[in-house]
Structure formats: structure tokens, C-alpha cells
Amino acid sequence: VEKISIGNYLLTRLAQLGVTSMFGLPGDFNLGFLDLVEDHPQIDWVGNCNELNAAYAADGYARIKEGSIGVLTTTFGVGELSAMNGIAGAFSEMVPVLHVVGVPNTVQQKTRPLLHHTLGDGRYDAYGKAASQFTICQQYLMDTHTAAEKIDHAITECITKARPVYLTLPTNLVYREISSERLKIPLSHDIPFNQPEMEQAVVDLIYDRVQAADGDVVVIVDACVIRHNARKEVDELLKATGFPVYATPMGKTAVDESYFRYGGIYVGSLTHPDIKEKVESAKLILSIGSLGSDFNTGNFSYNIPKTRQIEFHSTYTEVNFARFDNIGMKHMLPKLTERLRDFYHPGHKLSVPAFIKQLPEENTPVISHLWFWPRVGFFFKPKDVIVTETGTANFGILDVPLPSGAVLVNQILWGSIGWSVGSTLGAALAAKDVGMERVILFVGDGSLQLTVQEISPMIRKGLKPIIFVLNNKGYSIERYIHGKDRRYNDIADWKWSSLLDTLNDGGKYPTASYTVNNKEELNKLLDNEAFAAADKLQLVEVMMEALDAPQALERQAELTGKGNAYAAAATA
């Protein structure tokens, strides 16, 4: 049999999955492996500025490159722990990320000398133990006999469960040779089929419920449709039945927003009154891929009794309190679609509120959230990748209808600020592979300060995102939650317009920066064709007021503040 080094075995597996970029930083425990990466014909090494940003980038890459995974490589201790919050975010948000860690050689792992990057007490297992809290699978390569199997297992877990995994690669194993036999069989993405009789029974049950509802049915799509690659299956169900469809904040763009039966965003008590009434009055709600977190549900304010809801998840289905384990939506939805074709006409009876772009009239030059978001709505094009950061941006984008084929990426459950910057780097690299076009980031001035350096690799890799920095002098989302005038919500007032120039690679790449102080300036910029063509990296500083926010945020903030109960009243 042909031989291959363990390092290249891993890279071949990644290449088979379509991985084209690897994120991370060098460190003396991974340098040997990076030689192989640098020499690999398909995989490009993206040197990040720090490991947290690298994890965010791998996450953004995986989100756009559906069916593939994001990969980062870090070094023992210092590197891997720096990435921990990014990995935990991928766990929480169900993003398939492989974290490869270069670790001391296998002899050192046993004798545990007092090496640099250790805790000083010989606990070589501490980092893996910490990682086990935030990854679904940890594999420690220790010899040539089990290496291939461990690598395959880690990657398979990653792709089928859409969660991060952890893999250690000791320095002395990178070049050790093993059989390449297993590589002939590509790793399977396939998730298990549902047990046929049980699946049939569930489909029948749902059919009966739909019939009883007399076609008065609406669909709500949520995050897991995206994470578990069920967009196509959902689309076919919708087209076959004509049922009205709404999305949650995390499910936005799971369904094409230009689809004529799409009605906008449902987010519990924060929902637009029109939409709220339509959704909550339906006799039956098919809730697909739901993720019921506070910010995704208007603080748990769904006004839909369980009895009127059917839940479709990646690994189970729930109908009227009955849980059907191992009946996953991916395989069941196509069968359901066939059964429900009868409802094509009644399905179309229900009216759907028009989810269309509208620019409010305001007679002030100030760029308000109320005006800003609809305005950028007119700037978007099909095939745009839109990334929004936690803060006012995540709320502002919700009411903007996005063009057909545009994709929105956000991190509403985990909500780690700074994520969007690394994520944009990864998303922009992935976008090139999947035929998406512009990448547009909306990030608050506060959030951008956490991870600002990651703009540098964007420039260096020739990427051309448009970065809108919402300059509202600090942490506005927090001002709405608590401490409106507190200094801890202020930040330093950076000179955003000179940032790209500072972070450029010796000025080698063209970039452009703009500051827009009022509506007129923003209009002019957005209408400028050269700007809209996004043929270089561009940063737009948007001047906004510290105490302005999208309406949905104002209401959410109130609810969050109450939950935190800083008032002395609450009892422990």
C-alpha cells in the first residue's frame, strides 16, 4: 500500500471536504505541520493576527461554506486557550470547526518535562480537559496505528453533528508514515436514515394535524435549518404547500426573503404587530429547526401553545408533546412534502404580510437606526453575504428584507462581540469558493475594538469586504440594558478613517475609508457605483447617536435588564 505522512493524511481528508483555507498562528509545536500546509496545493494558510480571531474566522468560513468545515491550527497551551471562546461559540451556535493543536512530542507527553507553555506542574492534560467542555469530540494522536482512525472519527463527528472537535498533533508524528488506504473512501456526511415505520407514522400524524387545521398552517424556520443543511428540503416543502413562512432572527435567510409567501421575522412579543397576529392566530405552526434562546424568541415570549405547534429538529420531532427520537428533519421533510401536496390550494389561502423595503421619511439629517437599516436594504444585491455583530446591528438588520440569494450571518445565541470581524475574514474566503459576491459587515465601534487587527489579513489576502462601523461612541446596546450614562459604556474615540492605512501590508493593497455624518453623505456613497462595486476593501464610519437603537433592541433590552434584576428586590 502507498504510504502517506500523518500530517498529509489529515490534509488530504480536509481537501476531500473542500477545505481551501486553514486559519491559525504558528508556534514551535506546529511549525513542522505548517510546512505541509504551506506546500499543499489546495489548502491555503491564512496567518491570523491572534488565535481567537482565527477561531472566529474558521467559524465564519464554515457558516458560508455549507457542507464543508472550518479549520484552525494553534500551538499547545497559549494558542489553543486563546481560541477557547471562539470554539465555545462554534459549539453553542452549532458550527463545524476542527481545532488542530500542535503539541509536544509523544515522549514528552509521557515524561512531562517543564516545557514552556506548560502550567509548571506537569499537567499536560489540562488543556484537553478544558477543551472537552466545548467540543463534541477530542482525539489525541499518540501513535501511527490509530492516527488515521482518530482523524477520520474527529472529522466525521464534526461534519455530521455540526459542532467543533479537538485534535492534537504531536511534533514527532507529523512526518511519520501510515497507509493511505483509508483515503480512498471519502468520509461520509450522511446522517442516519430514520427508522421507516416510525417515520411513516410521524408523517401520517402530521398529515392529520394539517388536515384538522384545514390548511391554516404557517411555517417558522430557524437556525438549525441552516446548520443542518436542510434549506433545500424546507424550500421544497414550502413550494409544494404554499404555506406562509416566517423566520426567527437566527433563521433569517434560511428561506429566500424575496419568496412571495415569506412574511418576515417572528420573534415573540417583539414581532411587528401585523406579523405577530398572523403567526399566532394560525391553527397549526410547523416550527423547523428551532433554537429557543432568549434573544431569538423575544425573551421566551412565543405566544403559541405547544398543542398548536409541531417541532422539526435535526435528531427528533415533537408533535403535541410526543417526542419521536431519531426522527430527524433532513430525511423526513421530503416525505412530508410528498404527503402534503394536497394542501397546495388551502395552503395559499392564508394571506402573508408584504415584507417589502420601505424608507421612512425623517426630517433630520442625523443617521438614525430607523432610517439607516431600510436605507442599506436598498444597497443590498443578490449574492451578498451580510455579517452583523452583536449590538445594535444584530437588531437593526432584522426588519430589512434581503435580496434573493443573499445570506445573513450572525451569532445571536453566543453573542461574543468581536466575532463578526474574524468571521468576515472567514466568510469572505469561503464566499469566493461558493460563488457569493460582496461581503458586507456591520459592526459597532465597541465590538470592532476587540478584534480590529483581523482586518489586516483581509487586506493581505486581497479580500474586499465593505465594513460599516457604527460609530455611536461606545456600547449602546448596553446603555439600553443598564448604565445609560456610565463611563464603563464609553470607549476611546479611534480615528477609524486611518485604520486601513495603518493595518495595510506596506500599503501594497488599495483600500478606501469614508466617514458619513448624515443621510445625504450616506446616500451619496451608497449610490456611487464604484463604491458599490466593492473592488477593494472599504471601511465606512457611520456617525450615529449614542442613545439611538433599533426598536426591537429597545424592547429586548428592557426584558434583559429585568432578568438580571440588579434591584435589591430579588431574592437569592
Could you list the residues that contact ligand TPP (CB under 6 A)?
25-27, 51, 75, 78-79, 82, 389-393, 415-418, 444-447, 470, 472, 475-478
Structural contact between residues 13 and 151, judged by C-beta atoms closer than 8 angstroms? yes
Tell me: does residue 88 bind a second copy (CB under 8 A). yes
Q: For Mg ion, which residue of 70, 242, 446, 457 counts as binding (CB under 5 A)? A: 446
* Least spacing, CB of residue 546 vs Mg ion, in Å: 8
* 117 carries an active-site annotation: yes
* 548 carries an active-site annotation: no
* Residues 463-522 within binding reach of Mg ion (CB under 5 A): 472, 476
Cβ atoms within 10 Å, residue 396: 23
User: Active site residue: 59, 257, 389, 445, which one?
Assistant: 445
Q: For a second copy, which residue of 10, 14, 17, 37 counts as binding (CB under 8 A)? A: 37
- Picked from ligand TPP, Mg ion, a second copy, none, the partner binding residue 504 (CB below 5 to 8 A depending on kind) is a second copy
* Least spacing, CB of residue 73 vs ligand TPP, in Å: 11
Nearer to a second copy, 232 or 495 (CB): 495
User: Active site residue: 44, 50, 105, 117, which one?
Assistant: 117
- Picked from Mg ion, a second copy, ligand TPP, none, the partner binding residue 563 (CB below 5 to 8 A depending on kind) is a second copy
Alpha-helix residue ranges (DSSP H) falling in 397-539? 419-434, 445-451, 455-460, 476-481, 499-503, 519-527, 529-533
| Distance set, CA 332 to CA 214, 238, 329, 396, 416 (Å) | 22, 14, 5, 35, 34
b/e 359-373 (16+ beta carbons within 10 angstroms → b): eeeeeeeebbbbbbb
Question: Which amino acid is located at 481 in the chain?
Answer: I
User: Active site residue: 66, 274, 280, 478, which one?
Assistant: 478
* Least spacing, CB of residue 419 vs ligand TPP, in Å: 8
Q: Which DSSP helix (H) or strand (E) runs through 6?
A: helix 6-16
Of 63-71, 168-176, 347-355, 427-435, the segment contacting a second copy by CB under 8 A is 168-176
- Picked from ligand TPP, a second copy, Mg ion, none, the partner binding residue 81 (CB below 5 to 8 A depending on kind) is a second copy
Shortest-Cβ-distance residue relative to ligand TPP: 444
Cβ atoms within 10 Å, residue 240: 19
Name the burial class of residue 103, with classes exposed (0-12), middle (13-18) and buried (19+) by CB atoms within 10 angstroms of its CB.
buried
Q: Is 243 helix (H, G, I), strand (E, B) or coil?
A: coil
Cβ atoms within 10 Å, residue 196: 10
Of 279-287, 333-341, 378-386, 490-498, the segment contacting a second copy by CB under 8 A is 490-498
* Least spacing, CB of residue 498 vs a second copy, in Å: 5
Structural contact between residues 523 and 497, judged by C-beta atoms closer than 8 angstroms? no
Q: For a second copy, which residue of 61, 124, 134, 468 counts as binding (CB under 8 A)? A: 134
* 172 carries an active-site annotation: no
> How many whole angstroms from its chain centre is CA 316?
22
* Least spacing, CB of residue 81 vs a second copy, in Å: 4
Tell me: does residue 460 bind a second copy (CB under 8 A). yes
C-alpha cell at 315: 435528531
* 472 carries an active-site annotation: yes
User: Active site residue: 48, 194, 296, 472, which one?
Assistant: 472
Nearer to a second copy, 139 or 241 (CB): 139
Structural contact between residues 438 and 466, judged by C-beta atoms closer than 8 angstroms? yes
The residue written with cell numbers 450615529 in the block is 544
User: Active site residue: 24, 30, 40, 51, which one?
Assistant: 51
Nearer to ligand TPP, 27 or 263 (CB): 27
CA distance 468 to 541: 6
The residue written with cell numbers 514528552 in the block is 108
Chain contacts with Mg ion (rule: CB under 5 A)? 444-446, 472, 476
Catalytic positions, please? Answer: 28, 51, 116-117, 415, 445, 472, 474, 478
